[in-house]
Structure 1
Amino acid sequence: MTYTTTLQTPLHSGFDARTTATEALAGRDLSGMQAIVTGGYSGLGLETVRALAGAGATVLVPARDPHQAQAALHGMAGVEIATLDLLDPQAIDTFADAYLASGRALHILVNGAGIMATPLLRDARGYEAQFATNHLGHFQLTARLWPAALRRAQSARVVCVSSLGHRQAGVDLDDPHFLHQPYDKWRAYAQSKSANALFAVELDRLAAAHGVRAFSLHPGAILTPLLRHLDLDDMRGVGALDEQGQVNPPPQSGFKNVAQGAATAVWCATSAQLDGIGGVYCEDCDIAALVADDSTGSGVRRWASDPVQARQLWMQSEQMTGVRFDCDAE
């Protein structure tokens, strides 16, 4: 397949894999800004919320389990909680309607919630759960928040948390829900992460004229609850366990800690270094390089940065969700 890719030119930002979320903010004052962080009560999302709220933003955390979110976020100033299940289209609409009714703008949307390498699960529509949660749920949420929230901000950013896991597979536009092929939990995860990156490509193309820019990113390898579905062999395979089956803590494992893992999302959401830029895949608080399809290292593969693939996925996502994303709507 021939790909036409987005411009992936590293900025040499001055940051690196050791940069923390607080350092990525570079002292920026976010007072008066409104943010939504999905997955914001666990792992990297929780650290992202802590950094944004600590810089003065008001942060709304949608949660499938509000009681768990309340416990995790207790005592954190400037943070609100609302109910949302990304596998439930009606719940997404209810959440979005409530936000729109509040009259608030939305300056930062971090689409960070996700699941990884689960057994085969399907939502009520029959859609494979990793694709439905990681991509389609966020597609619908962003679409529903668009007219009166992101546009109202006049200058906003949408940050899609992808993964280096995208390198294992692109999006299978013919059978994204494994209806006609054996289910593979890692391929399903990989295609959902490629979808996150492609969503940012097309959203940025459509939304840039309205002052809204979109980014995707690899946060790094971090030990978080995202790994909860992995068995011991999986954990060894991703480098989370040593030969004795004990957890490999950072930095011995090569993993980041949570503060470092949240840094690139915070950087994408706030950095002035990205002013006038969008639609790019980032890592280690910089724009990632475009790499060969068979590369085993970091960087973005062509299938996750191809505007043609991004447009095709966009159109299919509208059909799957029944939600038309009208970037010209008021």
Structure 2
Amino acid sequence: MTTAQQHIGSGFGARTTATEVLEGIDLAGRLAIVTGGYSGLGLETTRALVGAGATVVVPARRPDVAREALAGLERVEVDELDLADLDSVASFADRFLASGRSVDLVIDNAAVMACPETRVGPGWEAQFATNHLGHFALVNRLWPAITAGGGVRVVSVSSSGHRRSGIRWDDVQMTRGYDKWNAYGQAKTANALFAVHLDAVGQASGVRAFSVHPGGILTPLQRHLPKAEQVALGWIDEDGNALNPGFKTPEQGAATAVWAATSPQLDGMGGVFCEDVDIAVPWTEGADHGVREWATDPQQAARLWALSAELTGVDAFA
């Protein structure tokens, strides 16, 4: 079943927090995996899920930093995972599968944004590799644990940045002229298309997938952007204070992913792009909200899945 890109009247909005989304929802006995769940939006996501009773596994590129950030939170486990390294992805998945546990929800949150041109693995563009291919391989490798859960949701954290670029099919690795924002846009479109196809192929196993735009938030995601560039963008002033009135707090920014992962309002739905704690509408020219057609197209989603499986050598549905 395909869900339409249209508001469902969730009753929530841009200023709703993750904790508010979870009011009345009991996650006791449920296990979540949140990549990058120790910084920025990921940290607030982990806090909210733990507050509702869930156990949260946080795969982290910097496990020691993660443990320090998550100190004091109950039912949180930290393990090592570098999404830019497929051997690391495989090792984490093998360790988790060996535990014999099932997964109830996955939030693919970790990301890199607008970094200088960087090549990883066999020369892959780092944002596409980290934000998309690493998560693609992770979910496919964890598939036995995901399908063992029943009624599982996978949430792929995209961005309004997806509007910057569709998939550059003639040069996915951006070897002919690198632009950090176009690379970020392509990676965020890939996050959305991943959810489209995962939902299509996962429904038979009781798995639904969503992608989300969390909103504009000042977090460590901006670490690759010089202060002068952020000032020029109108994000902050010279003292580093937020200027954009549309920016959310991290607690508000985490709300849409948490809602997509847990809300009974979405039962029976999937494969859609969400923002401001509701299903997003299609983007129209000049709008500052909505999802572009290239990020929800099922044919492009299937094509990206095939390419990703070829690149990573992993496909749970092969």
Could you say which TM-score interval applies, normalised by the shorter chain?
A: over 0.9
CA offsets, 1:284-327, max 9 Å, x none?
A: 110000123x4341110000000011000000000110112318
Amino acid at match of 2:33: I
SS at match of 2:209: strand
The answer to whether the aligner puts 1:260 opposite 2:252 as a matched pair is yes
Specify the alignment match of 2:239 in structure 1: 246
Cα drift, residue 155 of structure 1:
1.0
The answer (yes or no) to whether the contact 1:214–1:278 under 8 Å persists in 2 is yes
Q: 1:194 aligns with which of 189, 194, 203?
A: 189
Partner in structure 1 of residue 17 of structure 2: 20
**Partner amino acid, structure 1, of 2:307:** Q
Aligned partners of 1:6 and 1:13: how far apart in 2? 15
| 1:257-305 per-position Cα deviation (integer Å, ceiling 9, x unaligned) | 010000001101100000000000000110000123x434111000000
The residue aligned with 2:151 is 155
Q: Secondary structure at the residue paired with 2:15?
A: coil
Deviation at 1:187, TM superposition (A): 0.1
Q: Which amino acid aligns with 2:168?
A: D
CA distance in 1, matches of 2:209, 2:258: 13
Q: Which amino acid aligns with 1:152?
A: A
1:277 is matched with 269
Q: 2: CA distance between counterparts of 1:306 and 1:261? A: 25
2:3–2:269 CA contact under 8 A, matched in 1: no
1:300-315 correspondence runs (5 A)? 300-315=291-306
1:30 to 27, 30, 35: 27
Residues 104-130 of structure 1 show CA distances to partners (whole Å, capped at 9, x for unaligned) of: 010110000000000000112100000
1:110 partnered with 2:107: yes
> RMSD over aligned Cα, in angstroms?
1.4
| Aligned structure 1 segments of 4 or more residues deviating by more than 4 angstroms | none
Q: Which amino acid aligns with 2:203?
A: A
Q: Which residue of 2 aligns with 1:321?
A: 312
* 2:251 maps to amino acid: A
Partner of 1:183: 178
Question: Is the Cα contact below 8 Å between 1:239 and 1:253 reproduced in 2?
Answer: no
CA distance in 2, matches of 1:62, 1:270: 20
SS of equivalent residue, structure 2 residue 119: coil
What letter is aligned with 1:247?
Answer: G
Aligned residues: 317
Distance in 2 (CA, whole Å) between partners of 1:166 and 1:246 is: 29
For 2:106 and 2:170, the matched residues in 1 are separated by 29
* Residue deviations 1:138-172 (CA, integer Å, cap 9, x gap): 000000001x2110001100000000011111011
Give the Å deviation of 1:253: 3.0
Structure 1 residues not aligned, in runs of 5+: none
Query: Deviations 1:156-191 (Å, cap 9, x if unpaired)?
Result: 000000000111110112211112x20000000000
* 2:286 paired with 1:295: yes
AA aligned opposite 2:161:
G
Q: What is residue 278 of structure 2 aligned with on the other side?
A: 286
Q: Offset of 1:254 from its aligned partner?
A: 1.8
Deviation at 1:232, TM superposition (A): 3.0
Q: CA deviation at 1:9?
A: 1.3
* Kept after mapping to 1: 8 A contact 2:3/2:270: no
Q: Distance in 2 between matches of 1:239 and 1:133?
A: 27
Identity of aligned pairs, percent?
Answer: 56
Per the normalisation by structure 1, the TM-score is 0.93
Aligned residue for 1:36, secondary structure, equals strand
5+ residue gaps, structure 2:
none
Report how far residue 72 of structure 1 moved.
0.1
- How many Å separate the matches in 2 of 1:232 and 1:49? 28
Question: What letter corresponds to residue 277 of structure 1 in structure 2?
Answer: M
Give how far 1:6 is off: 6.5
Helix, strand or coil for the counterpart of 1:158?
A: strand
The question of 1:121 aligning with 2:113 is answered no
Q: Which residue of 2 aligns with 1:214?
A: 209
**Deviation for aligned residue 1:248:** 3.6
CA distance, structure 2, for counterparts of residue 296 and residue 165 of structure 1: 13
Q: CA–CA distance in 2 between the matches of 1:151 and 1:195?
A: 23
